[in-house]
Amino acid sequence: MNLTEHHQRLNKELHDIINDYDQFKQRINERKQNPYNHVLIKEIDQWERTSIEKIQQKAKDSREIVTKSSQTCINDNEKKYNDLTEQIQQLDKENDFNESNFNYLTNQLTKITEKLNNPSTISIEQDSQAFINDVSIILSKKPKFNKYKQNAITVAGGNKQGHELNQLIGPMGIFIDEKKNIFIADTHNHRIIEWKCDAKEGHITAGGNGRGDRMNQLNQPQDVIVDPKNHSIIIADYSNRRVIQWLNQNQQILIDNIDCYSLAVDQHGFLYVSDCEKNEVRRWKIGESNNEGMIVAGGNGKGDQLNQLNFPTFIFVDENQSVYVSDMSNHRVMKWRKDAREGRIVAVGNGKGANLNQLSEPQGVIVDHFGQIYVADYGNARIMRWYEEKEEGEIIVGRNAEGNQLNDPCGLSFDDEENLYVVDSHNHRIQKFEIIV
C-alpha cells in the first residue's frame, strides 16, 4: 500500500468518526429537548397507569363490600322490625298485653335503632407502612369481648330427668328460632320437644312414640335444625342412622345409612351433616335426590393430620361456607374453608387437658359475628371462647372460681340478642346465660 492510499483510508475513518460524533451530539440535543423520552420514563408511565387501575379496582371492590355490608345490616334490621311489628299486631289482635310486653318491645326498638345508626361490624384499615397507603375494609374483625352473667336462667327442663313435658333426659342439640322458641333434641326421650319462650313446659313436635325405627319414631336423636324455607324440622336420628325431616307430622328420610351426629344449614340452602364413624362432614342440597353429598371436611380416615378427623361431633357453618368441626377425640376445633383439601386448627391442638390451651372432648361449637369461637368443653364442664389467632382460650361460663355450674355441656346457640344457650346435658336442662350489656 502506498502513502497516498493510506492517507485516503485515514481520511475516510476520520469522517466516519466525525459522523458518529455528530449523531451522538444530535441524540444529546434530542434528549435535552425531550427529557421524558427515556425508556425508564416509559416504564414509570406504565407503572403509573397500572397502579391507578389497581387503586381504582381496589376502591371499586371496597365500595361494593361497604354497600353489601350496609344492605345486609339494613335487611337484618328490617327483618327484626317486621318480626316486632308482627308481635305487636298479634298482641293487639288477642288483646293480651301487659307492662312487660311494652318494656320488651320498647327495648327491642331501641336496640335495632342503635344498630341501624351505629353499625359496629365494619371499619376501614389503612396500611401506613406502604409507599401508597393500602386501604382494607374490615368486616367483623374487631373482637367484642362479650361478658355473660354467671348465674344462668333455666329456660327448659330443670325438673330432674323424666318423661313429662316439663322434663328432659340427656338432651344434646338445640335450635333457637327468631322468636326465641327452643327446639331440643331430647335424646333419651327419643323426641324433639319445642319449648316456647318463657313457657313452663314444652310440646312434642317429632317422635315421642317410644324408641324405634318406624317413620313416626326416633332413636336417640342427637341434633335438630329448622329449615328456614318451610319451617320443617330436620333431625339427626343417630341410632336409626338417618337424617329425617318432619313437616306437619309427615316424615321423609332425607339421608340414610349415615352415623349422623350434628346438623347445620347455610344461607344457600345446603345441609351439612357430621358422620362420626366415617370421620367426615358432607354437604347436601336440601330437596335434591343426590344421596352421596359432597365431602367438605375430613374423609381421609381416622387420624390427627390436618386433612383428618377423629370422631367429629357438632358443626357450625359461617356465611362464607367455612365449616367449623368439634374434632372430639383429637380434642380440638378445626376450620375447613370452602373447597379446602385440609383444615386448620382454630382452637388448641395441645392434647387433652384442662389448661386454657387445651380441651377435653369438645362438643357444641358456634361462631359469633366477630369470628370468636365458642366451644362446649364437655370433659371440663365449661364453655370456652377462642379468637382464631390466639393460642389460649378463655372460660366464659362453667368451671371457674364460682364453682361447677354445668354437667357435661353439649349443644350451644345464640339468640338474636347474643344471649348464650347451653345444653346442660346431665343436669337435663337448657341454661341461658344473659349477655351483660
Helices vs strands, H then E, count in the chain: 3, 26
Rounded percentage of the chain residues whose pLDDT exceeds 70: 87
The pLDDT tens digits for 206-220 are 999 999 999 999 999
List of the chain residues with pLDDT < 50: 140-142, 401-403
**Parallel, antiparallel or unpaired: strands 323-327 and 312-317:** antiparallel
C-alpha cell at 73: 345490616
Q: What is the pLDDT of residue 401?
A: 40
Instruction: Collect contacts of 341-347 with beta carbons under 8 A, ≥24 apart.
Output: 341/307, 342/305, 342/306, 342/307, 343/297, 343/306, 343/307, 344/306, 345/306, 346/373, 346/386, 346/388, 347/373, 347/375, 347/384, 347/386, 347/393
Q: Where are the domains of the chain?
A: 39-138, 147-436
Could you say which architecture CATH assigns to the domain 147-436? 6 Propeller (2.120)
Q: What is the pLDDT of residue 32?
A: 73
With 0-12 / 13-18 / 19 or more C-beta atoms within 10 angstroms meaning exposed / middle / buried, residue 187 is: buried
Reported pTM:
0.70
277 vs 139: CA distance, rounded Å:
37
Q: What is the pLDDT of residue 402?
A: 47
Q: What is the dihedral of CA 174, 176, 180, 181, to 10 degrees?
A: -60
Q: What is the pLDDT of residue 295?
A: 96
CB 281 within 8 A of CB 325: yes
CA 72 to chain centre: 16
Contacts of residue 52, Cβ cutoff 8 Å, sequence gap at least 6 = none
Q: Hey, is 126 helix, strand or coil?
A: strand
